[in-house]
Amino acid sequence: MKVILGRLADIALPSLFKLLESAEVTGALELDCGGRQGTLWIRGGEVAGAVDPEVLRAAASRSGSFCFRPGALPATPGHWESSREVLARLDAERVRLSLEEVGQGVELAGDPLADLRSSLEQVHLPSGSPTVAVVTADPRPYRHLEPVWTQRGWTVAVEGEVAFPSRAQPDLLILHLPSSGTMAGQAEVWLNVVRAAAACQPPVPVLWVGGLSDPAVRHQAVMLGVEFLLPGPLSEGGEAGRWFREELTVLAERTLARRGVQGRDEAESLRDFFLALHVDAPPAEVRASLLRLAGDFFQRGVLLAVGEHAFESLGAYGFIHMPAARLPRGLDLLEDAVVARSVVPVAEGSAAAQRALAHALAAGSDLGEGVVVPVLLHGESVALFVGDGPARPDGRFDALAALLSRAGGMLGL
């Protein structure tokens, strides 16, 4: 696992501690708040270490940055306590926190982030700049556009492979199709990328460039939800090339403004931190971490792989009786989530479907407060998470849904 650096404005301490606990990792959590630094030692769901109360107060107010450095713990890290105890004390004592209440720790000399900032090993959590992904059969027009967009603060990735970006979900996707003379038999591949973008949570807006001479393809693109259809440039240079670059820039700007890309919310940051924590983890470890994290959102849950003939259980928690290892295909609520690639509340299913699902999962009671959340890989449902009994007062689970929408490639399916 690599070093992970991020901002507390993007992910609060409670979510940070929960992710580290779910991953069962050990290492140093270094806080840098307004010129003051401190280190907390992490061991699963436990915390040790003494830092200045001002640092903790600033961290609790989401001011400053953090760095998690995985690795061995010092011989005497100090008094261990649960992360929940630390958070409860921070919440109860906003005005004054004493070093004795935090415990004894290790003082680091100098700037703990100095060597990290120059390290190529770092994994930086994305910041508030919008990301624009371009999938194109002709990269030439984007040689001029890419530096212009970068100056606007956009993160730009131009790719030649016709597939939905696998690294991170962009804020805007531009599909630049080849000329009509070379489109024979290729249209469906490009339309599948639009389907994958629409299946994301939230859906990724798409600008469609070229391929307008085929009315059937154009119609399908519109019906699948592309934001705008734009003819390809007649040439890279001259006025035609300049007009194309200006038009595409204005359209991208309008789309991003309407989407409201001003900063990252907690759900996105939680998702990206989890993925960074588990980038080299084996699938079994990722599955276990997902279920531990899901316990912060639902009182019980089960993770199911979508097989050709059955739903295969990948693990569960909270049920009185362990759900069956194999559940038959055809259960309405599960199939709806697979096809729609979106969250399906159990309460929206028929009474018969709800009973069948509760019976199949050996739930012992109805799943009236349950949801079925798809786990996606390249826009397709490869697994499902069935959660029941909200564990949070507000009942929200958008952070978990955002994570599951990008976790399909880590489950070994």
Q: Is the pLDDT of residue 358 over 80?
A: yes
Give the CATH number of domain 131-259.
3.40.50.2300
Most confident region among 46-60, 87-101, 184-198, 285-299 by mean pLDDT: 285-299
Please, what is the Cα angle at 243 between 242 and 248, to 5 degrees? 100
Domain(s) of CATH 3.30.450.40: residues in the chain: 281-410
Q: Is the pLDDT of residue 48 over 50?
A: yes
385 contacts 303 by C-beta, under 8 angstroms: yes
> What pLDDT score does 52 carry?
75
369 contacts 390 by C-beta, under 8 angstroms: yes
pLDDT in tens, 72-129: 888 777 788 887 777 776 665 444 433 343 344 434 334 444 443 444 344 444 445 6
| Percent over 70 (pLDDT), the chain | 84
> What pLDDT score does 93 carry?
44
CA distance 172 to 152: 14
> What pLDDT score does 263 carry?
42
Comparison of pLDDT for 178 and 288, the residue scoring more: 288
**pTM above threshold 0.85:** no
Strands 326-328 and 310-317 come out as: antiparallel
Using CB atoms within 10 A of its CB, is residue 16 exposed (0-12), middle (13-18) or buried (19+)?
A: buried
CA distance 53 to 86: 12
Domain(s) of CATH 3.40.50.2300: residues in the chain: 131-259
CA distance 254 to 276: 31
> What pLDDT score does 112 carry?
40
62 contacts 71 by C-beta, under 8 angstroms: no
Cβ-defined contacts of 393-400 (< 8 Å, 24+):
396/297, 397/297, 397/298, 397/371, 397/373, 398/201, 398/267, 399/15, 399/266, 399/267, 399/270, 399/271, 399/297, 400/293, 400/294, 400/297, 400/373
For residue 47, list its beta bridge partners. Answer: 42, 81
Give the CATH number of domain 281-410.
3.30.450.40
Q: Is the pLDDT of residue 321 over 80?
A: no
Phi-psi region at 390: left, alpha or beta (left = phi > 0; alpha = psi -120 to 50) = beta
SS3 state of residue 149: helix
Token pair of 71, please?
A: 């690795």
Q: How many helices (H) and strands (E) does the chain have?
A: 14, 18
Q: Is the pLDDT of residue 15 over 50?
A: yes
> What pLDDT score does 113 carry?
42
> What pLDDT score does 184 carry?
60
Fill in the DSSP letter of residue 207.
E
pLDDT in tens, 176-202: 988 755 556 678 899 999 999 888 877
